[in-house]
Amino acid sequence: MTDIVARRWGDAILRGPIPLRSHGTDVLRRFGAGGARVEAAAGFPLVREIGLPALHQGRALAREEGAARIQAFFALMAEVEDTNLLHRGGAAGLQDAQRAARQFLAAGGVGQGGWDARAVAIHQAFVRRRLSPGGCADLLAATIFLDAVKSGL
C-alpha cells in the first residue's frame, strides 16, 4: 500500500513548494535532513522497516497494545533522523535522544520489568531539555494506521 504513495505521488511530493521560513526548511538547510517530505515520497519506509516490526515485537513482549506502541516509538526514535529533535536540540539533542532510545531497547524495551518508569524518566529528561520527538510520533501514528489497514481495521 505504501509503495502506491511513492509510485503515484513521490515525485510530486518532492517537487512541491518548500516554505522559505519553516522549522523543516531550517533543519534541511542546517543538517540536510529530509524529514516528512522525503519519508512520504519514498512510501514511508521507516514505518514499514522499523515501526511495524517493532509494534509486532512489542505485542509479543508485553501483550498490551499501549506497551507495543511504546516499543515501536522507541524503535523509531533510536533510528530516525527526527527533524523536530534536530530543530529543538541540534545534532547533540538528536544523538542524546537516539542514545536513550537505544539504551531502553537494549535493556529489554517493554519486556523489561519497570519499563514504564524508565520510559517516563526518559520523557521527563526530554521535557527538561525541550526535546520533542514529534517526527517519531507522526511515524508511530502512521505505523498504527498501516497496521490497522493491514489487519482489516
Residue-wise pLDDT tens digits, 43-57: 889 999 999 999 999
Can you give the pLDDT at residue 17?
Answer: 67
Contact 105, 143 (CB under 8 A): no
* Residues whose CB falls within 8 Å of the CB of residue 43, separated by 6 or more in sequence, listed in order: 2, 3, 4, 5, 6, 7, 10
Can you give the pLDDT at residue 41?
Answer: 76
Q: Taking the CA of residue 94 as centre, how many other CA atoms within 13 Å lie in the half-sphere pointing to its CB? A: 17
The pTM for the full model equals 0.87
Quick one: pLDDT band at residue 99, thresholds 50, 70, 90?
Answer: very high
